[in-house]
């Protein structure tokens, strides 16, 4: 039966296929063995590296417990540092908000300052105008007082003349100017 299906192939071709099949299986087993050898050497290399690292640690720290203790301390310090960093970030955000509020308040105060300065200048202008008006009125009052004094003097002079003329009814005279 097997010969009937492979009837068209010659004996040399069949032999060549069998040889290639054995070579292929041999090559595959060689590669598998090489893989396992490399894996074992890698494990040995890793193992020796780990042992060397442990020996260096033992020289440096004295014992594995002390190294583990230091590692635990370093881990704890790292966690604390992360907490502090988080806290600092929160404070930074809060400070940014406060700083923004301060900037807004500063802007409002600057606006208020400008408004108050404008009011001060307007008040100063109105005061200087009032001072000028008061000065003008003061001058007018002085003039009126002078005119009043002059009018009273003339009134007194006219009264005297009138009295003198009433004393001497026969002598009419013109006032001296």
Domain locations in the chain? Answer: 12-62
- In Å, the largest CA–CA distance within the chain is 194
Measured distance CA(101)–CA(93) in Å, rounded: 12
Q: Are the CB atoms for 67 and 61 separated by under 8 Å?
A: yes
pLDDT on residue 71: 80
Sole residue written with tokens 């009273």: 152
pLDDT of amino acid 164: 79
Distance CA(18)–CA(53), nearest Å, equals: 52
- Residue 66 CB: number of other CB atoms within 10 A? 13
Residue 109's pLDDT is 95
Radius of gyration of the chain (CA): 62
At 39 the pLDDT is: 78
Closest by Cα among 78, 46, 74 to 54: 46
C-alpha pair distances (Å), 22 with each of 11, 27, 163: 17, 8, 172
| pLDDT, tens digit only, all 177 positions of the chain | 455 554 677 888 889 999 999 889 989 998 998 888 887 776 666 677 777 777 776 777 667 777 777 788 888 889 999 999 999 999 999 999 999 999 999 999 999 999 999 999 999 999 999 999 999 999 999 999 999 999 999 999 888 888 877 776 555 555 555
pTM of the complete model beyond 0.85? no
Q: Distance between terminal CA atoms of the chain?
A: 177
CB 61 within 8 A of CB 70: yes
Cα–Cα distance measured from residue 35 to residue 30, given in angstroms and rounded to the nearest whole number: 9
Please give the pLDDT value at position 103: 95
């Amino acid at each position: 039966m097997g010969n009937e299906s492979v009837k068209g192939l010659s004996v040399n071709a069949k032999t060549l296929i069998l040889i290639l099949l054995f070579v292929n299986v041999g090559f595959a087993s060689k590669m598998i063995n090489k893989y396992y050898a490399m894996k074992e050497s890698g494990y040995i290399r890793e193992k020796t590296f780990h042992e060397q690292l442990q020996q260096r640690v033992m020289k440096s720290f004295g014992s594995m417990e002390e190294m583990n203790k230091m590692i635990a301390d370093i881990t704890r310090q790292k966690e604390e540092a992360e907490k502090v960093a988080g806290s600092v970030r929160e404070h930074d955000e809060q400070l940014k908000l406060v700083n923004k509020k301060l900037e807004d308040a500063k802007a409002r105060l600057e606006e208020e300052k400008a408004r108050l300065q404008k009011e001060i200048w307007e008040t100063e202008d109105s005061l200087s105008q009032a001072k000028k008006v008061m000065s003008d009125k003061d001058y007018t009052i002085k003039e009126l007082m002078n005119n009043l004094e002059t009018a009273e003097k003339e009134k007194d002079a006219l009264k005297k003349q009138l009295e003198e003329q009433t004393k001497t009814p026969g002598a009419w005279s013109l006032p001296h100017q």
